[in-house]
Amino acid sequence: MRLDQYESRFKRAAKSVFEYAPVPFETVLLVTDAEGQDAEAELERARAFLQPLGSTEGVRWVALRGDQYHTSHELVALVSQHKPDLLITHRSLKEADKDPIYSLGTYLDVLTQVAPVPVLVLPSGSLPQALKRVMVVTDHITGDSRLINYGAALLGEGGDLFLTHIEDEGTFERYLGVISKLPSLDTETARRDILEQLLKEPREFMESVQKALAVPGAPQVEVEPIVRLGRSVRDYRELVEARQVDLLVFNTKDSAQLAMHGMAYSLAVELKRVPLLLL
């Protein structure tokens, strides 16, 4: 018993620390169903939105027009040929319904599963003039430096980087419900200690982000940590609206699966008016 106690203390003391790493962008590929001048206009619109990346020298901006592919296989092959560092696209490519309910469309579904690079999903309609407020979303942010590095890399100087970690209240309560039926565990102690540790780790990780991004050479952005217990999708939606977020960044896959995981898919289909960066 004491062995486990000391091991827990040392595990607690071993912190996960954010590691800043610049994200290299050499090729940005826009996948659109528009053709000709419309495709070029769409590319310019994306460049304007993605400032400062849009005006960075040495970055190759390429548009893949709708007439260049006719099946998802062809699209995947073309994407592979270009070896992009960032894919930009929108929902419902080559579909009549441009405002679908609870769907990303066939092509985007495939891209999110097979593309080895981040996919930026732009909404239909107007885009903000430039990126000012980026929100990084995860329910397991600790140790996820890549997600934050992408968010910081796309954000302009002086922009706001919201780091959000919402611990799912439903899951937490379900486990507490089980604990409440185990006489060997004190329910109130478990509630207090588990919740404290669950929220402590992301808070500490976010503090390390603030420290790492405060040094010269790192993107000079304002970091605001948001850590709490809540209902993931509902709370993220409220936060996006309250903070007037220009871009939402989140993971879509974990190491054990190819397809989008539950919360990512829910966010992707529900937050249709916000640009999304899917990693």
Partner 1 sequence: MYLLAEAADAAAHAPPGWVTALFGGLLLCMVVALALEEKLHAKKSVITGIGAIVCLLAGQALDVLPEGPALLQGHELHLPIYVAAIDWEVIAIILGASLFVDVTSKSGIFTWIAVKLTKLSRGDPRRLLWFYGALTVAFSAFLNNVTAMIIVGSLTAVSLKRLKLQGKLLGFLFVEGLMTNVGGLLTLISSVPNIIVGNAAGISFGRFFLVASPYVLLATVASIYLGQRVFQVAPLADDEARAAAAAQVDAFDENDGIRSRRFFNLAAGMFVLFILGLALQSQLPLVGGEHGLGMGFVALAFAAGMLLLYKHEVDKFYAAVDWDLLAFFGCLFVVIFVMEHAAVLSTMGQGLAWLLDRGENLGVVLLLWSAAGLSSVTDNIPLSAMLAKILPQGRELTASSMEWWAVIFGANLGGNLTPIGSASTVVAVTIMAKQGVPVTFVRFVRLAVPFAGLQLALASGYVLLVKALIT
Query: Are 205 and 18 contacting, i.e. CB atoms less than 8 angstroms apart?
Result: yes
Asked if residue 186 binds partner 1 (CB under 8 A), the reply is no
Asked if residue 126 binds partner 1 (CB under 8 A), the reply is no
CA 199 to chain centre: 20
Any idea which residue has 């659109």 for tokens?
A: 32
Asked if residue 3 binds partner 1 (CB under 8 A), the reply is yes
CB closer to partner 1, 11 vs 181: 11
CB closer to partner 1, 8 vs 80: 8
CB of 13 to partner 1, least distance (A): 4
CA distances to 29, 54, 124, 149, 218 from 46, rounded to whole Å, are: 10, 8, 12, 20, 24
Query: 229 in helix, strand or coil?
Result: strand
Sequence-distant (6+) residues with CB within 8 A of 243 are 133, 135, 160, 162
Asked if residue 12 binds partner 1 (CB under 8 A), the reply is yes
| Per-residue burial over 241-271, b = 16 or more CB atoms within 10 Å of its CB, e = otherwise | eebebbbbbbbbeeeeeeebeebbbbbbbeb
Asked if residue 13 binds partner 1 (CB under 8 A), the reply is yes
CB of 103 to partner 1, least distance (A): 42
Binding window for partner 1 (CB under 8 A); candidates: 9-17, 68-76, 81-89, 90-98: 9-17
Asked if residue 181 binds partner 1 (CB under 8 A), the reply is no
Asked if residue 183 binds partner 1 (CB under 8 A), the reply is no
Cα gap 233→171, rounded to integer Å: 13
Cα gap 198→202, rounded to integer Å: 8
Measured over the CA atoms of residue 162, residue 218, residue 203 and residue 147, the dihedral's sign is positive
Binding window for partner 1 (CB under 8 A); candidates: 1-9, 67-75, 112-120, 218-226: 1-9
Extract the tokens encoding 20: 């800043």
Binding window for partner 1 (CB under 8 A); candidates: 14-22, 70-78, 113-121, 213-221: 14-22
Binding window for partner 1 (CB under 8 A); candidates: 7-15, 124-132, 162-170, 224-232: 7-15
Binding window for partner 1 (CB under 8 A); candidates: 5-13, 158-166, 247-255, 268-276: 5-13
Q: How many residues bind to partner 1 according to rule CB under 8 A?
A: 13
Among 17, 127, 198, 199, binds partner 1 (CB under 8 A): 17
CB of 11 to partner 1, least distance (A): 6
Q: Please give the residue ranges that form the binding site for partner 1 (CB under 8 A).
A: 2-3, 6-7, 9-17
